[in-house]
Homo-oligomer: A and B are copies of this chain.
């Protein structure tokens, strides 16, 4: 089936049929119809080594940050959340999404932002004098969130995700990266206050070394040392290697062991961390507070709407040659279901993991080291010199749901008594290292970072094929300024009681991009600096097709096209397209893509991940 010809489209719809809310479930129906035929192949295709490697890698990449956030939540909610809740939530999400999701590549779990939400709500509850009703209040927030999730997904509202460009998703990635780094530092500080200073300083050493270890191992595939198999093996198992090594390190008898760093606190297997039953008695909450929970629930939905869908797009980013279709509406409804379940049993709400999502796809990608031989002719020396370099090329992705499912089973296994005791040996400072690895990954490969580096580079050493050279420096700075303001406000508000309002700031970048920026920048400038975050047909088919960029619409309007023609560019003949500059030059696209994959990014992942 050609994804371009997908029947899910709103183009050409007239009358009441144009209104998405009036045709509930249409997106979800097509999501299922589109993906269901692949279900059997999602299992059959899994029998390769990559599935195993991806399972191990994702187990660690999912579990470690989840535990890290758990520590953060536990500290800030007086112990309401513990290891059991974190594992339960991660396992629930993994089992549900691996078996039922339209896009099983999207890893769902505990994020830093839900941690931020949970303890900000706790602060609010305590300030309002209902600290003892926190579990019930949180349950209602989750219930409202679930309801609004379902409204959004049945109302086909995920379509609006196609308007997200790198402008806002880069800003979001940067925000998430910074929050992770801050969390790492906060967790390190907690070592000093909750244990001795001796343990604190040792924790700093271990956290930094853990960071360096994982970073170096994950960098290996980009070098040419050792054989390709060795490089890939070491980087596939970077987390387990570093985790086992540094966990062992803090238990070396003598000076280090006596420093007695804090380890992960655990409680009885399969029981809630506090003295309660799993089911929260949410029906006991006074009606007044039920309605106070409504706006907060909507804020959670706003956050998840952006966060989950962006991480889903991240898992299906440009640089991965995916063949199987996406299904945003269905998956978002599913997320509503996990919100509901998680809410009434009092575990953190899982959602898509922005920095980790592409890691799953990446670890399922078969890469090939390609040798590129080029003949370099220096200007002052006519003789061509043979140069060899390595190009790292994605050949195919093992698209399946088994690795996700096995990872879920492994998480359930981790909830059992014996494995909880293994977890208990892990030093808490190791999680600071995890924060640093994941956070830095999100900052280093970010489009904002790349633009900043471009700006501080000495001009004459930049290859003339660099597309950014065609944009005036002041324009690049202006573009960055908007992003930096967005990130800055979000980070600042996250440190206050108003933290739960940050999704509004991030979301407000989208209308800014669509309505204001086309008037400040020329079309070509925007095309070079920005791009649709979701731009492959297999992804866009679930979002109602590719939108016309506002700068294109504006340019066309100036040239006198009518409003109707704007809606569908296919009305124009090819010639008209060329004249209006409709299509990007394929050469420019090729270079932009080269740049993107060369620098290693896409908006969310670290350079080393792709």
Contacts and interface: CB of A to CB of B under 8 A. Distances in A.
A287 interface: no
Contacts of A196: 198
Contacts of A389: 461
A378 B201 CA distance: 52
Interface stretch (A27-35, A50-58, A367-375, A540-548): A367-375
A1 to B, nearest CB: 32
A282 to B, nearest CB: 43
B388 A462 contact: yes
A258 B197 contact: yes
Given A255-B200, A386-B463, A458 B227 contact: yes
Interface string A5-18: 00000000000000
Interface in A383-406: 384-390
Interface stretch (A75-83, A169-177, A202-210, A328-336): A202-210
A228 interface: yes
A232 to B, nearest CB: 12
Contact of A378 (B202, B372, B378, B461): B372
Stoichiometry (number of copies): 2
Contact of A205 (B208, B226, B387, B464): B208
A276 interface: no
Contacts of A565: none
Nearest to A456: B225
Contacts of A385: 463, 465
Interface string A211-234: 000000000000011111000000
Interface in A225-282: 225-228, 255, 258-259
Contacts of A371: 460-461
B201 A387 contact: no
Contacts of A204: 201, 205
Interface in A175-196: 192, 196
Contact of A376 (B197, B226, B258, B375): B375
B373 A378 contact: yes
A457 interface: yes
Nearest to A261: B201
B228 A458 contact: yes
A246 to B, nearest CB: 14
Contacts of A386: 463-465
A453 interface: yes
Given A198-B196, A224-B457, A387 B376 contact: yes
A224 to B, nearest CB: 4
Given A201-B259, A374-B379, A376-B376, A224 B461 contact: yes
A235 to B, nearest CB: 15
A377 interface: yes
Contacts of A197: 198, 255, 258-259
B201 A464 contact: no
Interface core residue of A192, A259, A461 (most chain B CB under 10 Å)? A461
A453 B228 CA distance: 15
A205 B201 contact: yes
Contacts of A387: 376, 463
Contacts of A456: 225-226
Contacts of A458: 224-228, 369
Interface string A553-597: 000000000000000000000000000000000000000000000
A591 to B, nearest CB: 10
A151 to B, nearest CB: 49
Interface in A305-333: none
Interface in A417-464: 453, 456-458, 460-464
Nearest to A207: B205
Nearest to A200: B255
Contact of A453 (B208, B225, B463): B225
A498 to B, nearest CB: 29
A226 B462 CA distance: 13
Contacts of A457: 224-225
Interface in A334-383: 369, 371-379
A190 to B, nearest CB: 13
A575 to B, nearest CB: 26
A606 to B, nearest CB: 19
Given A373-B379, A458-B228, A388 B198 contact: no
B259 A390 contact: no
A296 to B, nearest CB: 36
Q: Which 8 A-B pairs have the closest CB atoms?
A: A201-B201, A224-B461, A198-B198, A374-B376, A201-B202, A197-B198, A374-B378, A224-B458
14 contacts: A197-B198, A198-B201, A201-B204, A205-B208, A208-B208, A224-B458, A226-B456, A226-B458, A371-B461, A375-B376, A385-B465, A386-B463, A388-B462, A389-B461
